[in-house]
Structure formats: structure tokens, C-alpha cells
Structure 1
Amino acid sequence: MLDQLKFVEELKRKVKSMKEHAIKYPRSLKILIDLVRSPLPSANEVYALLEDFKFSSALPTDEWGFWNISPPIETKTEYQPLSEVSVEFLQEACSDSTAVAVDSSWIEPDPHIDPPFALLNIGSFYVSYERGEYIEDSIPILRIGDEVYVEKRGSKYLMSPADIDAWSFSEECRIAKSYFSGEEMFVFFDRSFSLSYLGSRAREDRENMLSLVAAKFLEMRSLNLVPIAVYFTRSRSVVNTLTRIYCSRETCSSCVHKLCKTTLEDKILMANILEPGERSPIFIENNSVLKRSTLSGKVAFFYLNTGYSVLRVEFPSWVMKSETLVRKIHRFTLAQALMCKGYPYIMARAHEKAVLRPEEREFIREKISSIVYRGTGARYFYSSKALAKRRSIV
């Protein structure tokens, strides 16, 4: 039970600390904005600066230096889609695209419940604007009993969050492919392809996920599917790159700004550089997880200011070889975000189909309990701790 008074006191202490840090933000932000607007070193020089850099960074591409890339809308267009969302703009931006978004929710196996089970609920939303078609679906995928164990290092273990992550991505890809009809199709994921979060995982789990993503990239490319990850992020890879450039011009002993000590995020910088509808140049994600894998140099991204928020848009690096395809992704993602106040409409619909609400989770547990008992005679068992979580003992 939460002690509410103690929580409020703890929160007040934290807010005071946050306020002290926030004072440094405007100064750091101004330094970075001024740096972006000044002559920058060449892409090759930036690569050299980042060669032994231990933090995540953003490697420049051929677009280096072009910080404000306008939405690909014909100049003859008379309407203003970003000041007042225009139906004509949305139709034009999506008319030649076919896309599917996939998302997932899950219930992890609980060691305090027997038989253990794991459930994935994959939501999908498919649309072909050219043909006027859309399909939405929700597919539950259940593992129960021995199915929730995975073999690692010669032993069997209950599925971990890392195993669930790999399982969900694999199933999302499988379901996305089921919509493929032979034409180019965007596949939107609500997850990160830069995979920096894998840094805290065991080596075996990390390598398994990296190999899986690399394999799915190859498979999708062969099928003319374009995987695109769109999400809100706290990444600092672009800020880190600019900080490295700034620090190369200063000496630590004489530096008074301490830019390297701030926690300014990319989205704050981009919100102050990009106008609504504009995207940043494309970068290559360069973090410690990817650098040691076959995905090194193969995950590209740009930031997009939707007018409501800043999104990070990631895709395999082979996508940036086609300027037409990049423009199409920019245009389509922007239009989708304008439909849903800053988050792609197609992804919001997939999320709605994937989410498992509390009452649905309880329904799942009750049905597993009753059907398992009727089918096998085995009673669904909750440990004393699991029962205590479900109802008060006082």
C-alpha cells in the first residue's frame, strides 16, 4: 500500500532537483542551435571525430548540413496543410501508398501461477488508399505449459522479457507479411530498430535479437516490404554528435559551458530547429550495441516535426538509396501524424487492436482456469503471493 504523504514529499524533492537541471537547458540549447547554423566540419571529418567516441552518436550521410528538409508537396499546391489540415493534402500524400501497422501487447508467464502461460495479442491495421481498402484485426497467440520454456545454455528457463520481445517482433513481422499482395508496402512498427536498450541484456539475448532484426530486414527487402519504426524517443545521438564537434573546438580546462554534462535530448533540439512538417537530414545510428553486430551502419533515421510533436522515424539504411522512397516515407508519415494530432493514425489504430485492458487480462486468466480444468482436470493454481496480489489479506 502506498504511503501517499511520503510519496508527495519525495516528489517535491525530485522536482526541486529537476528545476536546477532545467536552468542549464536554454544555454545548452542555444549553443547547439548556433552550432547547427554555423559552418560544420565535413562528413568525413565528423566520422573521424566519432571513431573512438564511446557514447551513442549519429553518423552523417549525404544529407549532412541540410537541417530543414521541407515536406515533399508540390509547390503549386494552394492549400496550407500544416496550418489547417486539408483533406486534399491528406489524400494526395497517401494516395499512392499501401501500408500496414502492427503492434502487440502481452502477458508474461508468472512463476506464481500454474500452469504458466504467455499471451501475445497482435493488433494490425492495413490500408490501401489506391484501392480504397482497409482491414483491422486482432490475433491472440497463446503459449501454455511446456511451451513457455526456452532452452538456454543447456537448460530450460521460463520465458523472460527478452524472449517475449523477440517473440512479439517475430509474430508482428509474420502477420505484416500476411497482408502482402506483391506491391511495395510500408510496415510500421511501434518499436526501436536502433536497439540501444539491448545494452543491459545478457549477451545471448542481445545477439538473438540483433540476428532476428537483421534477418527480418533482409527478408522484407526481398519481398518489397519497407520496415519503418516510428516512436517518441529520449535519444541523444544527434546531440552527442554535435557535442563532440563542439568539444573538438574547445579545451576542457577552459570550457565554461560544460555541454558534455547536460542531458538535452534530440527531440528538444529538433523542436527548435525544424518547422512543422520538416524533417532532419538522415543519420546512421551508431551505438555500442549496433557497432558490434551485423546491423552496424544499417539503421538509418530522421526526425520529423509533425507540428504537434517530434517523431523519430527509423528504417534500414538501404532505404535512403532511393530519394523517391525517402520522400514518400516523409510525406506519408507526416500525413498520418496530422490525422491523429502528432502520432500516425495507422499506428494508433493498430495499438487499439493490440491493447489488453485490465478486464480483458482478468477474462483471459478466468478462461484459462476454467477451460484447463474442464479439459484436463488440473486445477489452475495460484501461489499465496499471487493470491495476496489479487486481494487484500487485511
Structure 2
Amino acid sequence: MLDLSKIAQQMQGISHHLAKEAEAAKVRIAIATQLLNQAHLQQSHLVEQLQTNNLGFAAAVPIEPLDTRVNINPAPAAHTVIATDGSQINPSHHEIAYCYLLNIGRVVLHYGQSRFPLLDSQPEVIYRPEDLYASRQWGIRTEEWMGHRRTVSEAVVLAELGVEVSGRRGKKSRQLSLLQRLAVPTLAMTDGSLIYWFLDQLPAPARDQILDPILAAWEQLRDAQVPMVGYLSASRSSEALNFLRLQSCPHDQPDCQKHCEGQTDGAPCQVFSPLRDVTLWATLLEPGQRGPLFKSSADILQLYGDHHQIYFCHVHVGAEIARVEFPEWVVTDKKLFDAALSLTLTQVQKGFGYPVTLAEAHNQAVVRGGDRSRFFALLEQQMIRAGLQNVGTSYKEARKRGSIA
């Protein structure tokens, strides 16, 4: 039980601390804004430095002028948005059986078309030893591997929805789909980044089992001409701001390994830490505007292939600054890019601050306490029917579910 009286004693100084942080943030924003204006004047030179010098940090490459401000057009009345999100029941040795469940929420919302929406979930129970313990050959815990597999399932199911909505199945349906797509734009949304940073830590064979099916799913969306975005709310990234560190570098040629070996946040070029991208762009964008397009320089993207490099921009959605990510094949097609932005902004407006499709996908996916209990009750029934005896949770788990207080 949480003792609020003890917590209150520890929170007495928090208002003073937050006031000091707010003043410090204003100073950091002023420094970053000045560097942004300076960098804009020699942007091509800084981009060349970024691409030819050895840097010890990841800095995004601006694809458009740094002073770019674009008003996003509203979405047409008729459009379709699809999304997936995942949840799970974690494996536990204290339950009646060591297994886990992935639950992928599926949402398809049609606007202005008099068509029924799709709101459901697609569960998968994993119980075979070859699935439960396969990751241990690489030193990866089952619980961690389960999260990676959920990421794959979200991408695969999203692609299946995109193909189904676009009608790209069979010659006759493809002809009908072409007319539909010309009139009704479709957007595929996913919650979070399209840059899977965790892959850097995985051995190559394990990484291939995760990344290959994801890229195959993206290729399906590309063939179906359904643009995809990754929506990041309250992003903590400073990848765009890191480009400004080239401007603040005191050396003629930035070489982190040569001049600042072993230094990260304490390097002389880091004059606005811990400022985040969204904090700066909140002072520069008006509601309904996007900033310049950046290309991510994350190392893991070298494995993504030519068509799936990740680009991003910051969008003032009204309630906050969102980071919106796109694969390269979306960015290079102006029609798909404009449609992705307009439908994303409209989704946020319809969801009163957060894309309604992503919120509904989460609601469909989430596994609540009652769902967990019913899942294990159903599993217990099946085990008893199969003739198994002594079916039940461990004494520890049973005792934790009750209390003498």
C-alpha cells in the first residue's frame, strides 16, 4: 500500500525545482533557436560535414531548408485509416502452464463512405517448446523475445489489413481497387517509432527473424500503395537537434573521436542539453504546421534496404508537437506523403489530441485483469479434459492473490 503522507514530505521542494527547470529550459531554447538560424545559412556545408566526418552521436540529416514551415491540408471527407497495436500475457512459472499470449488489436475506420468499421483483436497462444525457448540459443530471455515477436505481429497484421482494404487480391479486385484508391486515400498507422533501436543489441540470426518479416510487411503496404506512418507522442528524441551540434562545434572539422574522445553530453558542442526536439519545435510551429523533413542516421537503418529508410518531421497537432515517421517510399511519392500528413493530423483532431485509430487499436489489444483470469480458466479446463492432474497455480501465486489485511 502506498503511504501518501511519506510521499508528501518528499515533494515539498518539487515546485521550486520545476520553476528553476522552466527558466533553464528558456535559456536552452534561445541557444538552440540561434544555432538553428545560423545553421540555416550554411546548411549545405553542415550536411557535407555530417556525411564526411566521424561523429560520436546520431544526427539526422535535414532534407529541406531548416526554415521550412508547411501548412497541412485537411483530409478529404472520404478516407480510411487502419491501425494495429499489441498486448500480451507474460509467461510465468507460477501459473498453471508456462505459455504466453499475444493479442493484436485491429482497427479499420472508414470516413464518409457508409461502411462498417472493423474493431477486433487477433490472439495467438504460444506454448510449444520450440517457440518458447528458441531465443535462449542467443541468450535472449523468453519475456524479451515475446515483445519482439509482438512487434512483428503488429506489422504483419497491419499489412494484411492494408492489402485487404486496398483490394489488391486478384485481377478483378485490383481493377476495382484502383478506382477506389483514386477517390479514397488510406493510411496505415502504428504507435511508436519505425526505427527498431533494440535490434542493435541482437545477434544477426535473431535480428533477421524479427526484421525480415517486418520489412516484408512494409513491402506489401508499398505494393498496395497504402502509406504508413509511425506516430510518436511526447517524443524524447534529440536527433534533429544533434544536427545543430555541428554548428556549435569549436573545431573546423568535427571529429568526435579525435577531439572529444569519451565525451558525450559533456562535449563542447553540447550547449543545449537536455533539450528535446519537440520542445524546440513547439516554439517554432503553428497549429496545423509541419517542420522540415529529416532523414534519420541511426546505424540500424543500414539493414532496412533502399526503399525503407526512415524519414521524419515534427507536426504541431494542436495539443502537442508529434514526431511523425515515414518509410522512404512514402516520402518520395508526393501524393502518398501529403495524404499521410493530412490524414494523420485529422486523426489527432478526431481523437482530441491523439489519433483515434491508435487509441482504439490499443483498447482492442489490451489484456485486462479479468481477461487474464478467463484465459487461464479456459486453459485449466482444457488441461483437465486432457486428463492432466494437479492443475493449478503455485502456492506463492495463490497466496499473493489473497491478503490477511
In structure 2, which of residues 366, 369, 373 is the aligned counterpart of residue 362 of structure 1? 373
Instruction: Please give the alpha-carbon distance, in whole angstroms, between the structure 2 residues aligned to 1:14 and 1:204.
Output: 47
The range that moved more, 111-120 or 147-156, is 147-156
TM-score normalized by the length of structure 1 = 0.81
TM-score normalized by the length of structure 2 = 0.79
Deviation at 1:379, TM superposition (A): 4.1
Instruction: Please give the alpha-carbon distance, in whole angstroms, between the structure 1 residues aligned to 2:187 and 2:389.
Output: 45
Equivalent positions of 1:295-306 (< 5 A) are 298-306=309-317
RMSD across aligned positions (CA): 3.4
| 2:216 equivalent to 1:215 | yes
**1:86 corresponding residue in structure 2:** none
In structure 1, which of residues 95, 104, 117 is the aligned counterpart of residue 99 of structure 2? 117
Q: 1:244 to 1:205 in 2, by over 3 A?
A: farther
**2:263 corresponding residue in structure 1:** none
Equivalent positions of 1:50-129 (< 5 A) are 51-61=53-63, 63-72=64-73, 93-129=75-111
Instruction: Please give the alpha-carbon distance, in whole angstroms, between the structure 1 residues aligned to 2:29 and 2:76.
Output: 35
Deviation at 1:44, TM superposition (A): 5.4
| 2:162 equivalent to 1:151 | no
**1:339 corresponding residue in structure 2:** 350
Deviation at 1:129, TM superposition (A): 3.1
| Contact kept? 2:95, 2:393, Cα under 8 Å | yes
Cα-to-partner distance string for 1:18-75 (whole Å, 9 max, x where unaligned)? 66544421111112123334443234532423642222321111x2334311112xxx
Equivalent positions of 1:273-288 (< 5 A) are 273-288=284-299
Letter in structure 2 aligned against 1:97: H
**1:237 corresponding residue in structure 2:** 239
Deviation at 1:132, TM superposition (A): 2.8
Instruction: Please give the alpha-carbon distance, in whole angstroms, between the structure 2 residues aligned to 1:122 and 1:109.
Output: 17
Instruction: Please give the alpha-carbon distance, in whole angstroms, between the structure 2 residues aligned to 1:155 and 1:54.
Output: 28
Instruction: Please give the alpha-carbon distance, in whole angstroms, between the structure 2 residues aligned to 1:109 and 1:125.
Output: 27
Q: 1:175 to 1:318 in 2, by over 3 A?
A: closer
Deviation at 1:346, TM superposition (A): 1.8
Equivalenced residues, count: 372
Structure 2, unpaired ranges of 5+: 169-176, 261-265
Letter in structure 2 aligned against 1:107: I
Instruction: Please give the alpha-carbon distance, in whole angstroms, between the structure 2 residues aligned to 1:56 and 1:388.
Output: 49
**1:386 corresponding residue in structure 2:** 397
Instruction: Please give the alpha-carbon distance, in whole angstroms, between the structure 2 residues aligned to 1:42 and 1:336.
Output: 33
Letter in structure 1 aligned against 2:228: P
Cα-to-partner distance string for 1:140-173 (whole Å, 9 max, x where unaligned)? 2222353651424758976332333233433542
Q: 1:379 to 1:231 in 2, by over 3 A?
A: farther
**1:190 corresponding residue in structure 2:** 191
More strand by share: 1
Q: 1:290 to 1:155 in 2, by over 3 A?
A: closer
**2:27 corresponding residue in structure 1:** 27
Cα-to-partner distance string for 1:62-114 (whole Å, 9 max, x where unaligned)? x2334311112xxxxxxxxxxxxxxxx5xxx1435333111111112113324
Letter in structure 2 aligned against 1:28: R
Report the 3-state secondary structure (helix = DSSP H, G, I; strand = E; otherwise coil) of the residue aligned with 2:91. coil
| Contact kept? 2:35, 2:248, Cα under 8 Å | yes
Q: 1:138 to 1:390 in 2, by over 3 A?
A: same
The percent of aligned pairs where both chains have the same amino acid is 24
Instruction: Please give the alpha-carbon distance, in whole angstroms, between the structure 2 residues aligned to 1:212 and 1:393.
Output: 49
Report the 3-state secondary structure (helix = DSSP H, G, I; strand = E; otherwise coil) of the residue aligned with 1:273. coil
Instruction: Please give the alpha-carbon distance, in whole angstroms, between the structure 2 residues aligned to 1:163 and 1:317.
Output: 28
Report the 3-state secondary structure (helix = DSSP H, G, I; strand = E; otherwise coil) of the residue aligned with 2:243. helix
Deviation at 1:322, TM superposition (A): 1.6
Instruction: Please give the alpha-carbon distance, in whole angstroms, between the structure 2 residues aligned to 1:264 and 1:98.
Output: 36
